[in-house]
Amino acid sequence: MGISHYIKDIGRGKEGARALSRAQAADLMGQVLDQKVSDLELGAFCIAMRVKGETPEEMAGFLDATHARLNKVPTGRVPTVVLPSYNGARKLPVLTPLLALLLARQGVAVLVHGESTEDSRVSSQAVLAHLGITAKERVAPAVAGEVHFLGTSVLHGGLARLLAVRRSVGLRNPGHSLVKLMNPCASEGPVLVVSSYTHPEYLTSMSDTLSLTGQHALLLRGTEGEPVADARRTPAMEVFNKGRSVRVQEQHAGSLAQIPELPTTDAAATAQYIQHVLQGQWPVPQPIALQVQHILNEVTP
């Protein structure tokens, strides 16, 4: 046991590092999630992978280990949409809760999961709290037409510990991509993970991982890393399922002809804006309306 031999392979710098096989990556991540590694080993793993970068095979192995250990949400046959919300808002309001509530209004179950890793950002959890949706303290079955928020520590304590390394070293690690790709549901019916990337290089790596693992997901360039389309412009959107991908939305060049008036990043102001949109007082931003329709096409007949 121990991960020192893996750190030797991945920690030789960008040019000298050796990629792990899917099985090796699963074993490494399994030990991390089981919290069998010291803080020093965990930090070394995070820094080494930050320098080297994850291959799709490594990320697939990390997902294998994670899916085997998660406290999964029972969804039965209820169509369910998963929204990983970890980046929060810095420059723009976090509208992931708006996407979640628009979907729930159409009768699907929506699971939002997340963990605050930067105190300077406004989280979806804070906005949802202003809307009367508080975080669940334990895993509960998904309910059609409802939004549930789960903290990462409820899904798995070891995964929350991995994400928390960012507070110490100030850098992302494989856990931050992992949570955007994983499916935390135990289901018989359709489940769609809405995954997002921030920088163009992650488009390729995340696409390759979704294809390799055969997951059902919609991938787009999110708003500040959140899984919601930018209200000011329409991004490209790709659906992955059983190893195949289909472009369901082309990117629209430039900004919308009519830019919606958005609130400040403050949680209370964002919640009030969302309420106005849901009540029909303000229009749903077109890119988000398109995203809702593409998601519903994947999870409802």
- The DSSP annotation for 211-265 comes to HHHT--EEEEE-BTTBSS--TTSPPPEEEEETTEEEEEEPPPSSS-SS------S
DSSP tag of 69: T
Q: Which helix (H) or strand (E) holds 76?
A: strand 73-76
- pLDDT tens for residues 83-131? 999 988 889 999 999 999 999 999 999 999 998 767 778 999 999 999 9
- 94, 123 Cβ separation under 8 angstroms: yes
Residue 51 CA, chain-centre distance (Å), reads: 22
pLDDT of amino acid 253:
78
- What's the predicted TM-score (pTM) here? 0.95
- Residue 274's nearest CA partner among 83, 96, 82 is 96
Beta-bridged to residue 226, according to DSSP, are: 223
pLDDT of amino acid 15:
76
Domains of the chain, CATH where assigned = 4-67 (1.20.970.10), 73-299 (3.40.1030.10)
Distance (Å, rounded) from C-alpha 150 to C-alpha 142?
A: 11
pLDDT of amino acid 256:
63
Which portions of the chain are predicted below pLDDT 70? 1, 117, 254-259
pLDDT of amino acid 115:
87
